[in-house]
Structures are given as C-alpha cells and as structure tokens.
Structure 1
Amino acid sequence: MTEPTHQPFGVDATLRALLADILGLGDERAAALTADSGLFGALPEFDSMAVATVLTEMEDRLGIIIDDDEIDGEIFETYGNLLAFSLRKVNG
C-alpha cells in the first residue's frame, strides 16, 4: 500500500493515476479530466465492474475505508464528484 497523502494535489494525482491504471486511459487522458468530465456512463471503460475496482484501489492508495452506505451513483457522475468524495474521506 502506498503512503496516503492528505494534500489536495496528492489526492488528485493519486486519483488520476488510479483511473489511468484501472480504466486503461493512459496518463494523457487521465490528466485531461476536468471537474465536469463524465465518468460512469460517459467513459465506456468505466462500467459496473470498474466501479468495484476503483473503490478498492481508492481504499488502498488513499488509505481510506469506504462503507457501502456512502456510495451512490452521484459520486461517479463526474471526475469532480469523485475527487470531492475522495478529499472528504482523506481529510475525514
């Protein structure tokens, strides 16, 4: 497990790397994600199987625990939503 970071840039960079790895986006596509970039339903790579993997990797790479009742579809609508959720979890 990597050392968790509590800085917004560190969480952003970690989340982008995680999406690049899991979804096979590549570094350039991951770096180009904006707060309004659609994820689930917008990226063909981001399907229901990817959601479970992304959540598991977020826990591992960010050093957080995500409870089932914290997850809803809104989190995966945009990159901004996913980043905001990640920052809330990291900064507890």
Structure 2
Amino acid sequence: MTATTDEILRRVLSDVLGLKAGQADAFRSDTGLFGHLPELDSMAVAGLLTELEDRFAIVIDEDEVDGDLFETYGSLLAFVEAKREAA
C-alpha cells in the first residue's frame, strides 16, 4: 500500500527532528510547528527542506520558503501536497 503524503510527512518530521515516538501522529492541521516545536529551529529547517525534496521527489525554491510555510502542520502539508500535484 502506498503511503499518503500525510503519513510520509509525519515520518519526515519525526526522523529529521528526532521527535518522540508518536509525537507527530498527534499533529492536527492547526498544530504549530516553527516557534512551537523546540526541535524545529532555523538549523533544522534546511535539513527538513532537503529531506522533503528527497522523499517526495519535489523541488522547493528559496522564494517559496517563508514563515507561513512552517507555521502549522496543515500549512506544511498543504504546501507539500500542492508541490506533489505540480510535479
């Protein structure tokens, strides 16, 4: 069975940020990310973007990355889904 974008994104966040087991599973669309998760700092953003590109076979341009992108889990998920559809 093919994993959904949501499932893969939760795994990417867990792997890259080293979240506790099951922590990403509890994320809702309004769960805050940047500024809310201590693990997601400016240094982690670069690694997260690289991993998203690798796992989803997408290209993320610098001008697409802003504070709104990582504001909530829902905003990040919507962005990745849109990138996958456009790819």
Q: Percent identity?
A: 56
Q: Which of 37, 50, 54 lines up with 1:56 in the alignment? A: 50
- Which aligned runs of 4 or more in structure 1 are off by greater than 2 angstroms? none
- The aligned counterpart of 2:77 is 83
**How many angstroms apart in 2 are the aligned matches of 1:51 and 1:65?**
15
| Structure 1: unaligned runs, 5 residues or longer | none
Shift of residue 27, structure 1, vs aligned partner: 3.6
How many matched pairs?
Answer: 85
Question: When the two structures are superposed, what TM-score results if normalisation uses the length of structure 1?
Answer: 0.88
- The aligned counterpart of 1:37 is 31
- RMSD, aligned α-carbons: 1.2
**How many angstroms apart in 1 are the aligned matches of 2:69 and 2:31?**
12
| Structure 2: unaligned runs, 5 residues or longer | none
Question: When the two structures are superposed, what TM-score results if normalisation uses the length of structure 2?
Answer: 0.93
Q: Which has the higher contact order (CA 8 A, sep 6+)?
A: 1
Shift of residue 26, structure 1, vs aligned partner: 3.0
**How many angstroms apart in 1 are the aligned matches of 2:19 and 2:30?**
17
